[in-house]
Each structure stands twice: as C-alpha cells, then as structure tokens.
C-alpha cells in the first residue's frame, strides 16, 4: 500500500537536538516509512502505513518523546497557539530581567579591591543574601524550569544539548550559593561567597536570545497564507447559454468560463475564443503582458488586460500552477532542518567529561583528606563552577546578535541564527532577472521616427491605455509638450495594439507583427527592428494612413550596481548564475553585460526550484536572490533564500534573509558578514573552552577557590562578549 502523509504540529521543541529526537522516535516506529521534522515551522511530515498505525498513535509517539503534538491545524488555530506561547515567553523574560537587575549590581562585590568599598557595602546592605536567594530561586526554578525539563528529555534520550549545559552551569552556581547561605546561617562569623547573579543573568540572556529567534522565525510561516490570498474566489461559468457566478472550488474540468477585461483568470484553462493580453508577471516575473488567442493556455490568478475571452477549464483547483507553487513552498520549508549547533555538539562531549572529572575529584579528595566532606565538596564544586558553560552558552547567541545587529544597520535582515550560519557556506548565488538584477520596468532604448506626426500620435494613443508598455512610452516623453490632436474611435485590438483616427488620419499602433500585416516596412527600418528583437527588445511600431511611421524598442535594463555586486561575489570566490522566465537571448545579453557565470533561461517557478535542488545534489551550497511570487519556491528550496525588500511580501517572508531596499551590493555583504560572524563564533568557542581547560586541572588540585573559579568564569564570559562586539565594527564592502 502506498504510504499516506500525515502533517502534525509539534510544540515544545527548543533546539536542533529536540527536532532530531522527535524525528528519530517517529522513524523507529513500526508503520512509519519516513518522517521529516522541522524546528522552524514546528511541524512534522510523516509518511506511514494506515493499516499499521493511526494518526492518533503518531501523536502518542511524539508525546512519549516529551513534546506536545496535534494534527495539522488551520493557520488561524496555529497562530493563536503560537501567539499565546510567545506572549507567555515575553512575560517570563520581562519578569526574569526585573528580578535579575538587582543581582547584577551584586557583581561589584566580587571584584577584588572593590568589595570593601562603601558602594559595595551599600549593595550588600540593600541586596542581602536572603533577598538574593529569593530572587535567584524564582528565576532558577520558575522561569528557568524549561531548561531542567529540556535537559531531562535530552538525557533520557541519551544526548546532551544546550539545556543540559544551562541546567548544569546555573545549578552549580545556585546550589553552591545556597550551601554558602546555609553555612553562613549556621556560622554567622564566616565569610560566604555567593554566585546567585551568575545563574540568574545567564538564564535571562538565554531567554532573550530564544525570544528574538522565535519572533524572527515565526514570520516564515506566513508565506503560505499570502499565496492563498492570490487565488480567485469566484468564476463566471457559461451553462446553457447563461452566465453563472460560482465559487472556484466548484469548477470541474471541461467547464467553460468567461473572463472579462480587468478580471483575474480564476483557474488554469485553455482559450476557446477571443483575443487578449495577460499579465503573467506573478508566474514568470516578466513585465511584458503575453498575447493570448484560441488554443493558448491561461494560468489561474493572472490578470486579464484588454479583451474578453472564453476558456475551458483544464485543471482542478489543487492542480493549478499557483497551487503547485504553494505545495513546493510547503515541502521545501518542511524538509529544511536547521544546522546542529556547534555548542550542542561540544556539549555532548564536554558535559559528561566535566561531570566525571568533578566526581573523580571529589572521591580523590575524600581519600586524601581522610574523609573531610567540606573541603572535598568545595574542590568538586570549584571544578563545576570553573567549567560552568556560561561563556559556551553565550558564544553563539552573542555573536549572532552582534552579527545580525550589524546586518540590520546595513539593511540586511537575517531571520535567525541558523540562516546566518548557513549563508557563510554559500558557494553559488543564483539571481532572478526581472526586478532583481534589472529595474523591473520597461524603458525606451531605441526610437525610429520616419513620420513628422509619429511622436505626437504615439503619445495621444498611449494616453488611452493602462498597458505597461504605454506607461514606458509616456515616461520617455515626460515633460515634452505635444500639440493637441483630435482623436476619434480609438479602440484596443486585444493582444495586438490599438487603432484610431487622429487629425483625420487612420492610425494603428502595436506589435511588429500587427503593423507588418497592415503595411510594408522599409528594409532599412525592418533591419533595425530585427536587430532590436535579436537583442531581446520589445517592439512597438506605428502606421499612418497605410504607411510605416516609426517604432520604439523597449528593454528592462540592469540596475546600476548589479555589475559591482557580481564582481564582489567573484572576489569572495562565489560562483554566480541567472535564472529567468524570459527568452534566452535576453537573459544571455544581461549575463554577458554583468559578467555572470551561468545562464538558465525560460524558467518557470518549479524549474527554478529544481535548478536549486540539482546544484545542491552536486554538493553546492546555494543562495537564491529574488523578489517575486514566482521566486517563492526557489527561495524556500535554497540553502539561503535572499529576498529583496522592495519585492512582494511572499518573497520577503519565504526568504531566509531580507535586504531592505534594493541595493544588490548587499548580497556580497550578506555573505561577508555571515563568514565574519562564523569566524567570531569559533573564536568565542576557543576562548570559552580555553578558560575551562586551563582552570579545571587547577581547580581539581585544590588551588582554586570557588569564588576565584567564578571570577575566571566571568572573565571568560567577558572575553566572549567583547569579542562578539567586534562584529559591530566590521567593514562591509
């Protein structure tokens, strides 16, 4: 039996180890063929045998792994759940920050030569150990309980993640401080050392990082809803000679529909009668409307310009081009697994080793001291404190926050740390053409004027049209005064052009083929227009009283900074390519002008996403840069989808990185910043672990008091944060 797909919403996952654990649990279950779990979208796509296992049992497997699950909810239902979770996390962070602020002040009392000053003594008086204990306890066990819960699930699954590190480090600091508090209560004369602020501040900072990441990644799930809004809701169907308005979902293959000028094409169909031009930029990305006549196919949700036509429905609603795009985006997002955090991999080795060293140290000191528990315990705790993963926990989020902050200042918006990490490995960048590498609008590039009334009549005719070509022609004459023209009987000839009577002359304006059928074009003029067409230009020509009067050549021109952006990518060792729905000659000309390595022309949305997938199979890490709805599948499939901020909301939400504005030089800057951030993270790991590796043996020998270990631990955190802040000054070019 063919495997059935069941989509689940999974809640409670906090890191890549969580999604991996859920995925392993499902894949080990009898009856499950395969399962893909996505941390970002909090979803699971499970292919299973319905004769062996039911959806309810699949949900039970996820719950047994320690997470909540439900059958796929509607967007509204899921948004309500996520909004409730997000608000709860915001409230917890605010409470944690308020409670941690007084504890932050106590850090001055740990600094040598300052802890006996009047300021330090005032802090001691105002924030005494009992107050510290109360504040830290609330943060540790109410706000920070999620880390204990996550650590328990990880250890139960025989793995160690960041939750284990956080729980271990904060617990070492908290419980040592608690022991010191009890010891001082029993013997008020002794000097106790408290580290309540260490655990409280670490938990607060990690909560902030999680909060920012949750907010950014939640935006990626909105793209599907945006695509759905594009679909037509109603259609005019012809039955028994009458027009009936029906919901699009009720259309069947073979139904005949009527589409009038200005309306959306409701569903994929083939034209039976009538001629028109249709704006297919939603699919192809190209600004020039496409002429349609009997026998041509039309695509659902595209816009009909200037002629009514009848068409026969050829596809069901779930098979249309737009529905296919929606499915591609869903599937591409569903199989995108976030990169396993380096910190989680380190923790899988580091945490067990530290625990073992601490335990061995305790046993050895018990033997050496003849069973002196107090001294043995202090040495063992010193090992844990010096090994506290505060710096390791800060290594990634501080660098990512600094890197993304620097990016935001430059107009580069990353949707999460995993996207920044993945972008650093990009070796191939594919650009969409129209609206990305080019201006996205036609411009008059050549003019052939052989009649004294040509320009005047062109303006008069084009003023009657809303066509994109008309707007480009009028923009060409903007500011020039044209003498008044008496215009009569101006009519749009669907799919071809316009006709009319101007100052008593019969005038036709339209495509090369339209005018060539009406008049004989002089050889010199015809040769010129043929050259324009070879260069990929759109031709608009005119005849006056049966005589050729002139022509325009229009082209979508490259952006001024496009060539510079391609050059900088080459300097970074990145290969470039262009993918476009336009004809090959146009795409090749643009590529040659800009110095782009590879050309892929006449690409539909699914072709672009297939192209990305093919390059990935060859071992390339691919970034796709686009701005249109037609780019959404490729943006979602790419290792890094880079969307232009001036593009459509769908492209922006589907992409992993959004460029504010439309400066293409931001593309190489994005890769440069990502690489700098990843270098910074590796440096942070070095400094974080260097303190631990140097301090652990010293502490194990009993040469490091717990408060000194705490100071060294704080020093490692300071070095990590200071190093991360260097990213704020990195120069992008």
455 and 589 fall within a common domain = no
pLDDT surpasses 50 at 223: no
- Tell me the average pLDDT across 44-66: 87
Q: What is the pLDDT of residues 161-192, one digit of tens each?
A: 567 767 776 787 788 789 888 988 888 877 77
Of 237, 262, 258, the C-alpha closest to 248 is: 237
* pLDDT at site 334: 45
Give the pLDDT score at 527: 93
Same-domain check for residues 581 and 488: no
Among 119-133, 259-273, 450-464, whose mean pLDDT is lowest?
119-133
Q: Is 72 exposed, middle or buried (0-12, 13-18, 19+ CB in 10 A)?
A: middle
Domain of 600 in residue numbering reads as: 413-438+560-666
- Least confident window among 178-182, 338-342, 443-447, 517-521: 338-342
β-strand partners of 16: none
Q: Are residues 568 and 651 in the same domain?
A: yes
Residue 237: per-residue pLDDT: 92
Can you give the pLDDT at residue 488? 84
> Does the pLDDT at position 566 exceed 90?
yes
Q: Quick one: which of 138, 133, 132 has its CA closest to 103?
A: 132
pLDDT at 287: 62
Q: Which of 647, 666, 685 is the last residue of a domain?
A: 666
Verify that 589 and 639 share a domain, yes or no.
Answer: yes
How does the average pLDDT of the chain come out, rounded?
Answer: 79
Q: Is residue 233 part of a domain?
A: no
More confident residue, 404 or 44: 44
Q: Tokens 């809803």 correspond to what residue?
A: 225
| C-alpha distances out from residue 167 to 48, 451, 720, Å | 36, 84, 20
Proportion of the chain above pLDDT 70, given as a percent: 77
Q: What is the pLDDT of residue 110?
A: 58
Q: Are residues 483 and 532 in the same domain?
A: yes
Residue identified by tokens 């004989």 is 520
Lowest mean pLDDT across 14-18, 375-379, 430-434? 14-18
Per-residue 3-state assignment (H helix, E strand, C coil) for 234-285: EEEEEECCEEEEEEHHHCCCCCEEEECCCCECCCCEEEEECCEEEECHHHHC
pLDDT (0 to 100) of residue 447: 92
Kindly indicate the confidence band of residue 339, based on its pLDDT and cuts at 50, 70 and 90.
very low
Same domain, 528 and 567: no
Q: Which residues contact 484 (CB under 8 A, 6 or more apart)?
A: none
Please give the pLDDT value at position 165: 60
Query: Is pLDDT of 391 > 90?
Result: no
At 373 the pLDDT is 62
pLDDT value of position 338? 40
Predicted confidence at residue 648, as pLDDT, reads: 46
Assign residue 16 the CATH number of its domain. Answer: 3.30.70.100
Contact 489, 502 (CB under 8 A): no
End residue of a domain, out of 293, 316, 339: 316
Tell me: the pLDDT tens digits for 491-542? 877 667 889 999 889 999 988 888 998 899 999 999 999 888 888 788 899 9
Q: What is the pLDDT of residue 333?
A: 42
- Give the end of a domain, one of 557, 585, 612: 557
Among 323-327, 383-387, 565-569, 581-585, which is the least confidently predicted range? 323-327
Q: pLDDT, tens digit, for every residue of 137-168? A: 999 999 999 888 878 877 776 666 567 767 77
383 pLDDT band (50/70/90 cuts)?
Answer: confident
Just list the catalytic residues.
432
pLDDT at 291: 83
Task: Specify whether 470 is located in the same domain as 532.
Answer: yes
For range 544-552, the mean pLDDT: 93
Can you give the CATH number for the domain in which 296 is found? 2.70.150.10
| 30 has pLDDT over 50 | yes
637-662: average pLDDT: 70
pLDDT band at 335 (very low <50, low <70, confident <90, very high): very low
| CATH at 456 | 3.40.1110.10
Q: Helices H, strands E: what count in the chain? A: 26, 26
Q: Are residues 446 and 553 in the same domain?
A: yes
**Does 96 fall in a domain?**
no
In a domain, 548, yes or no: yes
Which are the contacts of 103, defined by CB distance < 8 A and separation ≥ 6?
Answer: 127, 132, 135, 136, 196, 197, 200, 201
pLDDT of residue 543: 94
Instruction: List the CATH number of the domain containing 428.
Output: 3.40.50.1000
> Are residues 566 and 549 part of one domain?
no
pLDDT of residue 126: 64
Q: What does R_g of the chain's alpha carbons equal in angstroms?
A: 33
Q: Is residue 272 part of a domain?
A: yes
Give 221's pLDDT tier (boundaries 50, 70, 90). very low
Among 147-161, 371-385, 418-432, which is the least confidently predicted range?
371-385
- Take residue 238 and report the two structure tokens written for it: 């012809």
- pLDDT at residue number 709: 59
Residue 46 lies in a domain: yes
Shared domain for 542 and 565, answered yes or no, is no
Which of 150-154, 269-273, 562-566 comes out lowest in average pLDDT?
150-154
Indicate whether 673 pLDDT > 90: yes
Q: Is 220 left (phi over 0), alpha (psi -120 to 50) or beta?
A: alpha
**Confidence class of residue 220 from pLDDT cuts 50, 70 and 90?**
very low
d(CA 164, CA 344): 9
Is 101's pLDDT higher than 60? yes
Residue 18 lies in a domain: yes
Average pLDDT over residues 276-302: 78
Residue 640 lies in a domain: yes
Residues 538 and 614 in one domain: no
pLDDT at position 422 is 87
Q: Are residues 434 and 483 in the same domain?
A: no
Spatial CB neighbours of 240, under 8 Å, sequence gap ≥ 6: none
Q: Which pLDDT value is given to residue 427?
A: 95
The tally of domains found in the chain comes to: 4
Most confident of 61-65, 92-96, 418-422: 92-96
d(CA 118, CA 121): 5
pLDDT at 551: 94
In a domain, residue 685? The reply is no
- Residue 438: predicted pLDDT: 83
What is the model's pLDDT at position 574?
96
Write down the pLDDT at residue 374: 59
- In the predicted structure, residue 82 carries a pLDDT above the cut 80: no
Sign of CA dihedral 672, 675, 678, 679: negative
CB distance 356 to 261 below 8 Å: no
Give the pLDDT mean for 55-60: 90
pLDDT: which is higher, 262 or 124? 262
What angle is formed at CA 726 by the lines to CA 721 and CA 731, rounded to 5 degrees? 155
């Amino acid at each position: 039996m063919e495997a059935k797909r069941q989509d689940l919403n999974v809640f409670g996952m906090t890191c890549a180890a969580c999604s991996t654990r859920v995925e392993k649990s499902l894949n080990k279950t009898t009856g499950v063929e395969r399962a893909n779990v996505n941390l970002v979208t909090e979803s699971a796509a499970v292919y299973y045998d319905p004769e062996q296992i039911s959806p309810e049992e699949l949900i039970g497997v996820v719950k047994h792994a320690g997470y909540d699950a439900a059958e796929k909810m509607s967007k509204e239902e899921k948004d309500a759940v996520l909004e409730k979770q997000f608000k709860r996390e915001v409230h917890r962070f605010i409470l944690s920050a308020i409670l941690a602020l007084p504890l932050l002040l106590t850090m001055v009392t740990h600094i040598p030569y300052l802890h006996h000053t009047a300021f330090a003594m005032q802090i001691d008086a105002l924030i005494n150990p009992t107050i510290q204990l109360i504040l830290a306890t609330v943060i540790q066990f109410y706000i920070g309980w999620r880390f204990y819960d996550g650590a328990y699930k990880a250890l139960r699954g025989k793995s160690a993640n960041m939750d284990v590190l956080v729980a271990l480090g904060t617990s070492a600091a908290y419980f040592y401080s608690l022991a010191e508090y009890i010891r001082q209560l029993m013997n008020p004369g002794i000097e106790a050392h408290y580290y309540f602020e260490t655990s409280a501040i670490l938990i607060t900072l990690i909560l902030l990082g999680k909060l920012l990441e949750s907010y950014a990644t939640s935006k990626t799930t909105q793209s599907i809803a945006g695509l759905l809004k594009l679909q037509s809701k109603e259609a005019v169907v012809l039955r028994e000679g009458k027009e009936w308005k029906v919901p699009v979902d009720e259309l069947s293959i073979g139904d005949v529909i009527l589409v009038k000028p200005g309306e959306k094409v409701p569903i994929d169909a083939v034209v039976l009668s009538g001629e028109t031009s249709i704006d297919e930029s939603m699919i192809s990305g190209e600004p020039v409307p496409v002429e349609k006549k009997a026998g041509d196919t039309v695509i659902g949700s595209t816009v009909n310009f200037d002629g009514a036509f009848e068409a026969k429905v050829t596809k069901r609603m779930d098979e249309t081009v737009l529905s296919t795009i929606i499915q591609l985006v869903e599937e591409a997002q569903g199989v995108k697994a976030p990169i396993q955090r380096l910190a989680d991999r380190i923790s899988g080795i580091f945490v067990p080793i530290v625990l073992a060293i601490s335990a061995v140290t305790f046993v050895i000191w018990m033997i050496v001291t003849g069973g002196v528990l107090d001294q043995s315990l202090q040495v063992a705790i010193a090992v844990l404190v010096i090994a506290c993963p505060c710096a390791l926990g800060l290594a990634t989020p501080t660098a990512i926050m600094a890197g993304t902050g620097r990016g935001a200042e430059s107009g580069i918006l990353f949707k999460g740390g995993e996207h920044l990490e993945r972008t650093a490995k990009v070796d191939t960048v594919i650009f969409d053409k129209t609206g990305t590498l080019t201006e996205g609008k036609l411009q008059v590039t050549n003019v052939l004027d052989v009649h004294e009334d040509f320009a005047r009549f062109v303006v008069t005719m084009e003023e009657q049209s809303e066509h994109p070509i008309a707007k480009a022609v009028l923009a060409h004459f903007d500011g020039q005064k044209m003498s008044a023209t008496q215009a009569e009987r101006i009519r749009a000839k669907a799919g071809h052009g316009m006709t009319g009577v101007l100052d008593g002359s019969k005038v036709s304006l339209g495509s090369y083929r339209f005018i060539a059928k009406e008049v004989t074009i002089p050889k010199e003029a015809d040769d010129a227009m043929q050259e324009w067409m070879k260069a990929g230009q759109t031709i608009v020509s005119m005849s006056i009283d049966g005589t050729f009067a002139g022509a325009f050549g229009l082209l979508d021109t490259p952006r001024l900074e496009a060539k510079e952006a391609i050059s900088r990518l080459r300097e970074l060792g990145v290969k470039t390519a262009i993918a476009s729905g336009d004809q090959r000659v146009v795409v090749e000309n643009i590529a040659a002008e800009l110095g782009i390595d590879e050309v892929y022309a006449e690409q539909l949305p699914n072709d672009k996403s297939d192209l990305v997938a093919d390059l990935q199979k060859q071992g390339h890490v691919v970034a796709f840069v686009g701005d249109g709805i037609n780019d959404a599948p490729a943006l979602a499939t790419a290792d890094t989808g880079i969307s232009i901020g001036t593009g459509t909301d769908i492209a922006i939400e589907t992409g992993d990185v959004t460029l504010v504005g439309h400066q293409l030089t931001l593309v190489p800057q994005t890769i440069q910043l990502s690489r700098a951030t990843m270098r910074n993270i590796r440096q942070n790991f070095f400094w974080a672990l260097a303190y631990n590796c140097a301090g652990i043996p010293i502490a194990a020998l009993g040469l490091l008091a717990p408060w000194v270990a705490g100071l060294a631990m704080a020093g490692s955190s300071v070095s990590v944060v200071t190093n991360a802040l260097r990213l704020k000054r990195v120069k992008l070019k």
